[in-house]
Amino acid sequence: MFHKIQNEVRSAEECQKDQDWAGLARAYYRSGVDAMEAGDLDRAQLWLGRADTIYSADDDVYDEVGDALIDDCSDRIGQLEEEPLLYNRIPSSVEEMADSLGDAQIRVWGLLSLARLVKLGERLSVLPGCEALSRLGWAVDTVFSSFQEPPTEDEFNGLKDLCDALYELGDSPDFWGRGSGIEVPGGAPFQVFDLNGMMGVHLEIDAYLNSHLELLCALSQEEEPSDPETGIIAGALLPDYYVRTGADKLEEVPHIRAELERISSDYDFLCSELTWDLVHERLEAYKKLDILAR
C-alpha cells in the first residue's frame, strides 16, 4: 500500500509552488520512508517529522492525507524515538543533568539557551508570518528582569501575546509550507521550517515562556509553581538544518559541537557561585551570537 502511496506523490517543490499541502506532506513522508529503509535515521527523523507537522496543523490536510499514511508515519516516528539519535539523546541528557539543579537554575539555563536564538529570530522575522521572532530579545530581557521583580501588566501580557503568536506560527503555511528562508554566508539557506526539529524550537520557546508566566502567577498567589521546562535548553542545536543541508553525522558538525559545549558550559556556570550580574553578562553575550556563522 505504501509503495503505491509513494509512487503517486508529487515532488515537494511542485507542491510548494501549487500550495498543495496534502501533497507536500506525502512528499516528505515518502522521503522519510526512503531514508528509514536506507538506514539513514537522521534524515528519516527530519522528513517524517515535517510530514507530521503539516498534516497535524490543518484538519483538511489531515483528512486528505488519510489514516493509512498518518498511522504509518506515526508508527515510524515512534520507532525513531527509540533509536540513539542526537535528536533523542541530547534532550534526555539535559533532563538527567537538570535533576541535579534547583528549579531557578533550570529556568536560567533555559533562558541562556533562548538568548542564543535571538539573533536568528531577528533574521527570520523578515519572512512572511515570522514577525513574532523579532521579539525574542525583548522576551529574554523581560524574563530576566522578572526573576528579580514582578513584571508590569504590559510585560506580562506581552509575553502571553508572544506565546500565542509562536503557537499560531506552527499552524501556518508560512512556517511549514512555503519553503521561506534566509541566506547564510558561506552556507546553505536556513529555512524557517528548519526550526521543526527537537519538538519544534518555536513550540519549545512557547512552552518555556508559558512556564515562566505560570511561575509568576503561582508566586503572586503564594502557590506551588509547576516544574520548569527543559526542552528549550537544546533548542539552539538546530539539527534539522544540518541534516537537510547534507550532514551525515550530526555529532561531527562544528556548529553542533560548539552548541553542545555551550550547553555544558552553561551547566557548569549554573553550578558555580552565581550573581544576577554574571547571568546578565552571559545573556548579553549570547544575544549577540550568530549561531549559524561560519
Grid cell at residue 161: 501575546
Percent of the chain exceeding pLDDT 70 equals: 97
Residue 202: which of 119, 136, 126, 290 has the closest Cα?
136
DSSP 32-86: HHHHHHTT-HHHHHHHHHHHHHHHHH-HHHHHHH-HHHHHHHHHHHHHHTTS--H
Indicate the average pLDDT of the chain. Answer: 95
The predicted-structure confidence for 154-173, as pLDDT tens digits, reads as follows 999 999 999 999 999 999 99
Q: What is the pLDDT of residue 234?
A: 98
Name beta bridge partners: 184: 187
Confidence class for position 8, pLDDT limits 50, 70, 90: low
Q: Distances from the Cα of 129 to the Cαs of 114, 122, 170, 235, 292, in angstroms?
A: 20, 13, 10, 20, 21
**What's the pTM value of the predicted model, to 2 decimals?**
0.95
Q: What is the pLDDT of residue 2?
A: 47
Q: Distances from the Cα of 188 to the Cαs of 126, 171, 191, in angstroms?
A: 18, 25, 9
Mean pLDDT of 222-244: 96
Please list the alpha-helical segments (H only) found in the chain.
Answer: 2-8, 12-18, 21-37, 41-57, 59-65, 67-80, 86-98, 103-115, 118-124, 136-146, 153-170, 173-176, 201-220, 239-244, 254-270, 276-287
The predicted-structure confidence for 52-102, as pLDDT tens digits, reads as follows 999 999 999 999 999 999 999 999 999 999 999 999 999 999 999 999 999
* Strand pairing category for 181-184 and 187-191: antiparallel
Give SS3 for 282: helix
Mean pLDDT of 102-114: 97
Whole-number Å distance between alpha carbons of 245 and 12: 15
pLDDT at 5 over 60: no
Whole-number Å distance between alpha carbons of 282 and 264: 14
Whole-number Å distance between alpha carbons of 17 and 177: 9
Confidence class for position 10, pLDDT limits 50, 70, 90: confident
The half-sphere exposure of 141 on its side-chain side, counting CA atoms within 13 A, is: 9
> How many CB atoms lie under 10 A from the CB of residue 254?
9
Q: Dihedral through CA 175, CA 179, CA 183, CA 189, nearest 10?
A: 110
The predicted-structure confidence for 13-46, as pLDDT tens digits, reads as follows 999 999 999 999 999 999 999 999 999 999 999 9
Whole-number Å distance between alpha carbons of 168 and 202: 10
pLDDT at 4 over 60: no
Confidence class for position 269, pLDDT limits 50, 70, 90: very high
> How many CB atoms lie under 10 A from the CB of residue 75?
11
Confidence class for position 266, pLDDT limits 50, 70, 90: very high
Left (φ > 0), alpha (ψ -120 to 50) or beta: where does 152 sit? Answer: beta
Least confident of 27-41, 113-127, 218-232: 218-232
Q: What is the pLDDT of residue 294?
A: 82
Whole-number Å distance between alpha carbons of 264 and 217: 31
Residue type, 27: A
